[in-house]
Amino acid sequence: MAQPVLSVKNLTKKFGEFKAVDNLSMDVEKGKITLIIGPNGSGKTTMLNCVSGLYAADEGQVFFRGEDVTKNKTHELVEKGLVRTFQVSSPFTRLNVLENLLVSYGLNSGEKFKWAPFSSKWKDEEKDAMEKAYRVLELLEITELAHDPAYTLSGGQLKLLEIGRALMTDAKMILTDEPAGSVSVILAEKIFSHIRELCRNQGLDFLLIEHRLDIASKYVDYVYAMDSGSVLSHGKPKDVFEDIKVIESYLTVKR
C-alpha cells in the first residue's frame, strides 16, 4: 500500500482495567471506503472516538496523511480535514437545512475570522459559503429541503445533513458511525451511494462503522472486523464476511 491516509498503530483505550480497544493497528488506504464491523461492544465506537480526538488513547499512535495527530484535539483534526460526522451533526433544530450548512462553513479555517472587519472580503466569504452550500445540497440531492427546519427532517435526511455539514468544512476524510443506522433501506442505499460518489468523484476518503452489512457490503472497498477491542480479520469485503473467525465472533454471546 502507498502511504495510508490514516494509520492507527497499537492503540489501546482502557476504561478502568477494561481494554475497550486493545493494541489495535489499522491502515486505511487513500481513495477507498473502509468499513469497520464487529459485534456490539467490540470497541468500534471507542476506536473512532480515539481517532477523532474525543478520547485520549492510553497507548498507541494515530497518523493522518503521514502526520502524527495522536494528541490532536477534535477541532485541530477538523482543521486538518479529518472530520467525524457526529461531531458536526447535532443540527441546530430551529435553523433550516441551508442555515445548518452555512454555520459549518469555515470551521476548519481560522483565517476566515481575521477577515471580519474587512467588509468586502466578508461579503466574498458569504457568497462563497452560499455557493458551496448549494453545491453540497445538489450533491446530496436535498436541495428541496434547503428551507425546511432541521427538526422536520427524517432520520435518514438528518444523516445526509450530517454528511453535508462535514463537506462544508472541507473535510478530506470522513469518519462516520453507523451512517445508515435506523433509516429505511431505500434511504440507506441512497446514503451509501452518496458516500461512494463522494469518494470516487470528490476524492474523499471514508472510514465508517456500519451494522447494515447487507447494504454496506455493496459499496465498501475494504473491511476491518473487530472483536474484543482488536482486529480479528481484514481484507476485501467478501473474504472478511466469509472468514469463519468473523462469523463465529458474531455468534458468540459475550458475558
Binding residues for ligand ATP, per CB under 6 A?
15, 20, 38, 40-46
The residue type at 25: S
* Beta carbons of 252 and 49 less than 8 angstroms apart: no
Closest to 37 (Cα-Cα) out of 29, 49, 47: 47
Question: Which of 43/106 has CB closer to ligand ATP?
Answer: 43
Question: Which of 41/66 has CB closer to ligand ATP?
Answer: 41
18-47 residues near Mg ion, rule: CB under 5 A? 45
Question: Which of 43/81 has CB closer to ligand ATP?
Answer: 43
| Minimum CB distance to ligand ATP, residue 28 (Å) | 17
Question: Which of 132/159 has CB closer to ligand ATP?
Answer: 159
| Minimum CB distance to Mg ion, residue 225 (Å) | 14
The residue type at 105: Y
Question: Which of 45/108 has CB closer to Mg ion?
Answer: 45
3-state helix, strand, coil in the chain (%, to 5): 40, 25, 35
Q: Which one of ligand ATP, Mg ion, none is in contact with 84 (Cβ closer than 5 to 8 A by kind)? A: none
Q: Which one of ligand ATP, Mg ion, none is in contact with 233 (Cβ closer than 5 to 8 A by kind)? A: none
* Beta carbons of 68 and 243 less than 8 angstroms apart: no
Pairing state of beta strands 205-209 and 18-28? unpaired
Collapsing DSSP states into helix, strand and coil, what is residue 74? helix
| Minimum CB distance to ligand ATP, residue 62 (Å) | 16
| Minimum CB distance to Mg ion, residue 46 (Å) | 8
Distance from first CA to last CA of the chain, Å, rounded?
38
Question: Which of 84/132 has CB closer to ligand ATP?
Answer: 84
Cα–Cα distance between 37 and 180 in angstroms, integer? 13
Catalogue the E-assigned strands of 127-240. 173-177, 205-209, 222-227, 230-235
| Minimum CB distance to Mg ion, residue 138 (Å) | 31
Q: Which one of ligand ATP, Mg ion, none is in contact with 46 (Cβ closer than 5 to 8 A by kind)? A: ligand ATP
DSSP state of 87: G
Cα-to-chain-centroid distance, residue 102: 19
| Minimum CB distance to ligand ATP, residue 64 (Å) | 20
Q: Which positions lie near Mg ion, rule CB under 5 A?
A: 45
